[in-house]
Structure formats: C-alpha cells, structure tokens
Amino acid sequence: MADPWATKDNFRINNVAMRKVNVITGKDETAEVSSVFVQYHSANKFSVYDCDTVKDTKTVILENAEILVNPENQDELIIRTDK
C-alpha cells in the first residue's frame, strides 16, 4: 500500500501534506500540550512547523532534519540539520 502522504493528487499538487503531532511537556497535572506540524520528505528526513490557522502563518521550527540511530548507542537518536 502506498504512503498516502507521498501521493500526489489534485489537493497535494498545490498543498504540502503535513501531520499534526501533539507534544506533551511535563507530567500528570502539570503537563502542557502543544501542537506542531511535521512534513515528511523521506523515511528519515522531515521538517517541523508551528502553524497558526487564525493568522494563516507557518513558522519553521526545524527544517530539513535527518534522523539517525547513534552507532555507539542504539537507544539514542541523532537529529542533523543543514545549519
């Protein structure tokens, strides 16, 4: 089955498909939830944006990031960016 986020249909020709991801900071009663939007470029490359639907703006949080498993410690992930 093809990845629906990679499919180019009439909607996605002019619009970038992004997934909403909830980020939870803190624990239990003090936890705060905020939302970011992730655009997948490939299996291990992505960008993260903060989108304001009221103002119709998109702010870059992380652009063209690459995620790798640390070869020295398989429990750690390394995130690389162009900058």
Report the range of poorest mean pLDDT among 7-16, 33-42, 70-79.
7-16
> In whole numbers, what is the pLDDT of the chain averaged over residues?
83
Mean pLDDT of 63-73: 94
Mean pLDDT of 7-24: 72
For residue 20, give the nearest of 53, 43, 45 by alpha carbon: 53
For residue 38, give the nearest of 22, 19, 25, 56 by alpha carbon: 19
pLDDT of 18-45, one tens digit each? 888 998 998 888 889 889 999 988 888 9
Contact (Cβ atoms closer than 8 angstroms) between residue 67 and residue 49: no
Highest mean pLDDT pick, 25-29, 43-47, 49-53, 76-80: 76-80
